[in-house]
C-alpha cells in the first residue's frame, strides 16, 4: 500500500519523504513502563495513584481522556463541572465539560433574580457568554479530543491566573 502511494506521488511529481513506516508500532512504543504498569496492574492500596499527565504529543485512549477530565474537575472544583449526557453506541460515557466561575455564576443569577429584564437577542458585541467546543464525535477524528483537552487546560490555566 505504501509502495502504491509512493508510486502515485512520484508519478504526479510530488516530493515526499516517509518519516514513520509503521504508525501503529510507533504508537505502541509511546507508552512508558510506568504508564503500562499504571493501566495493567491492580492497586491494593486505598490511595489511588494519579494518572500520568497529558502531554499532547501522543494519542490518548477514551479512558485516559476521561481520567484527565476528572483530574481537572478535582483540581479546579470551583471552575469545572462534568455533565454526563448519555452513552455512545459502544457504551462509553458521553461527557460535557462546563467551565465557569461558580462565584460569577452565582452573582449573575442573583442579579437576574433581583431585577428581571427581558433578554435581548444579541448582547453587546465583544462579550462572550459561552464558548462551545465539540470534539470526539467521530472515531477517526483524533485531533479533536487532543485540541479540546489542550483548550480546556489553557482555559483553566488562564482563569486561575486571572483570578489571582
**pLDDT tens string 90-142:** 888 888 998 887 776 666 666 666 655 555 554 555 555 567 788 887 777 77
pLDDT of residue 64: 87
Nearest to 56, CA basis, from 143, 160, 133, 156: 143
Q: For residue 24, what is the enclosing H or E element? A: helix 23-28
What's the number of CA atoms in the CB half-sphere (13 Å) around residue 50?
9
Q: Is the pTM of this model over 0.85?
A: no
Label residue 152 exposed, middle or buried (CB < 10 Å: 0-12, 13-18, 19+): buried
Query: In this predicted model, what pLDDT tens digit does every residue of 53-65 receive, in sequence order?
Result: 777 777 788 888 8
Q: Can you tell me the mean pLDDT for 42-62?
A: 65
Query: In this predicted model, what pLDDT tens digit does every residue of 70-85 receive, in sequence order?
Result: 999 998 888 888 999 9
Amino acid at each position: 500500500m505504501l509502495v502504491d502511494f509512493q508510486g502515485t506521488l512520484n508519478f504526479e511529481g510530488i516530493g515526499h519523504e516517509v518519516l514513520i513506516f509503521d504508525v501503529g508500532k510507533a504508537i505502541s512504543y509511546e507508552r512508558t513502563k510506568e504508564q503500562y504498569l499504571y493501566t495493567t496492574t491492580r492497586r491494593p492500596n486505598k490511595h489511588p495513584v494519579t494518572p500520568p499527565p497529558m502531554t499532547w504529543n501522543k494519542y490518548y485512549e477514551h479512558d485516559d481522556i476521561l481520567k484527565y477530565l476528572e483530574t481537572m474537575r478535582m483540581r479546579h472544583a470551583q471552575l469545572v463541572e462534568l455533565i454526563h449526557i448519555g452513552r455512545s453506541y459502544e457504551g462509553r460515557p458521553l461527557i460535557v465539560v462546563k467551565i465557569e466561575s461558580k462565584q460569577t455564576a452565582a452573582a449573575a443569577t442573583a442579579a437576574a433574580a433581583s431585577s428581571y429584564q427581558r433578554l435581548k437577542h444579541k448582547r453587546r458585541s465583544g462579550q462572550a457568554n459561552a464558548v462551545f467546543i465539540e470534539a470526539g464525535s467521530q472515531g477517526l477524528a483524533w485531533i479533536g479530543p487532543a485540541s479540546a483537552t489542550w483548550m480546556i487546560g489553557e482555559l483553566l490555566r488562564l482563569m486561575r491566573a486571572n483570578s489571582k
